[in-house]
Amino acid sequence: MSSQADWEVMLTGNAPDLRSLCNAGLGTAYFRIWGGIDHMNDCPNDEYSFNSIFFDGEDDPNLVWQISYELLSLLNGASKLFSRGARELKIYKVLQGGKETDYQDAMLPLCLLGRPPISAYKWNDEMAAALGMSQRLALLILATENEDVYMLIKQFALNNSWSGYYRIMETIDSHARIKNINVNEDKKVRESFTFTANNFSVTKFDSRHGFKDKVKTSKMAVMSIDQAHDFIAGICKSYLEKAYPQYLKF
């Protein structure tokens, strides 16, 4: 039966970001990352890999590929929460015992990975290590077992468009009601966002009114997509801080 250490997922993507994670000085078993050094020539390189506690006890390469896709999706979503233009990390190869496995397409099952079989004490250590590296890794850990974090981070990973941002806002609203959380937001900015989103992502050119009528009735300032990201990311961070105050502070 394979252990976490038997697996290696080689990465492509944002090498400077991967280097910063490696240089953080801490590590988490949820996303153990290494690389950036050519030991033969004693110089830096841009080759990075990771493995995860979720690989422990697994011998099916396809399952490890799917877990890897999911973990990278969560990390990419967390990155896009902080920056709309964040470069995505992708799988280059998956090795088992140093041997390359066959490529597998992503299945995107859209469900929680759940907590691995570790004690509460060990889990706290892993969260502390993740926070020491990057809040994105803390979000990844929370998203493996908390539906609200999972849904928000996955939506940032899957769709950074007007319709995607509108769904994220609705998701925040829904979970905020469930947890009785008052999200910090500027009401006027929200009105501008919903006005622009409804025009660009819903009605588009299918309108009953002509150009002149639109000009007369549209008094609201139009948002850019980058401003929309900043607004949605802001209320998402506000929600997450209040839902998980013991772990998150943006």
Q: What does the DSSP assignment read for 216-228? A: HH--SPPPPHHHH
CA 26/CA 28 separation, integer angstroms: 7
Q: What letters, b where the CB count within 10 A reaches 16 and e where it falls short, cover 88-103?
A: ebebeebbbeeeebee
Identify the CA nearest to 243 among candidates 174, 188, 161.
174
Number of Cβ within a 10 Å radius of residue 204? 9
Task: Give the residues across from 38 on adjacent strands.
Answer: 43
Contacts of 139 (CB under 8 A, 6+ apart): 74, 78, 81, 149, 153, 240, 248
Specify the pLDDT at position 41: 76
Helices (H), the chain: 15-22, 61-82, 120-133, 135-143, 147-158, 162-179, 187-197, 211-217, 225-243
Task: Give the residues across from 51 on adjacent strands.
Answer: 32
Owner of token pair 């925040």 = 172
pTM listed for this prediction: 0.90
Identify the CA nearest to 152 among candidates 73, 53, 65.
73
Specify the pLDDT at position 183: 96
Ordered mean pLDDT values, 10 residues apiece, the chain (250 residues): 94 92 85 85 86 96 96 97 95 97 88 94 96 95 97 92 93 97 94 82 47 55 88 98 96
Owner of token pair 């890794």 = 137
Structure tokens at 133: 């590296």
Identify the CA nearest to 17 among candidates 72, 88, 69, 73.
88
Specify the pLDDT at position 222: 77
CA 110/CA 112 separation, integer angstroms: 7
Task: Give the residues across from 177 on adjacent strands.
Answer: none
CA 138/CA 24 separation, integer angstroms: 14
C-alpha to C-alpha distances, 130 to 49, 53, 107, 152, nearest whole angstrom: 17, 14, 27, 19
